Amino acid sequence: MVTIQTATEEDIPTLLEIYNDIIINTTAVWHEEPHTLAMRQEWCAMKKEQGFPVFTAMEDGKVIGFSTLGPFRPWFGYRYTVENSVYVATNSRGKGVAKLLMPPLIDAAKQLGLHAIVAGIEANNEASIELHKKFGFIEVAHFKEVGFKFNRWMDLKFLELIV
């Protein structure tokens, strides 16, 4: 059974493992170099400092996915808008884990008094686009060839949920 809980310090190495696999093997993240443990620790500390949750999906005592909210843009006028991220370990994809990680994010956004959640998704990532649509997100933008990874140009879609 998969349970959702708030991430702990002990989860950081597994969060890093999942994130680095996504960097190396997918277009869900547009970094090209794996992150270090220090980078992921700094990332978690920043989330805590900013008051944004990091949720983990746990199965048999192991982290198999995580989700979080973060600033959409750094300027003051965007303070009520956040961007979400949902990542699932390779061997747990397609099993509904991401669907379990979304509701806590939406609830957290409401509890934080936020107004909108934006999801930036590589345009060919139909699974992520459909996941977000199931939770009421609507496509609001499609940017052509704004990213480059794996020797190809990538489009970016923005989906938005008003909470």
Ramachandran assignment for 92, one of left (phi > 0), alpha (psi -120 to 50 degrees), beta (any other)? alpha
CA distance 13 to 16: 5
Length of the chain: 163
DSSP letter assigned to residue 162: E
Residue 50's Cβ-count burial label (10 Å; 0-12, 13-18, 19+) is: exposed
Q: What is the pLDDT of residue 7?
A: 97
Residues 6+ apart with CB under 8 A from 130: none
CA neighbor of 55 nearest in space, from 91, 18, 22, 29:
18
pLDDT by residue for the chain (163 residues), tens digit each?
999 999 999 999 999 999 999 999 999 999 999 999 999 999 999 999 999 999 999 999 999 999 999 999 999 999 999 999 999 999 999 999 999 999 999 999 999 999 999 999 999 999 999 999 999 999 999 999 999 999 999 999 999 999 9
Q: What is the pLDDT of residue 89?
A: 98
Q: Which two tokens stand for residue 76?
A: 């003051």
Residues linked to residue 153 through DSSP beta bridges, in sequence order: 148
- Structural domains of the chain ordered from first start: 2-162 (3.40.630.30)
Looking at the whole model, is its pTM more than 0.85? Answer: yes
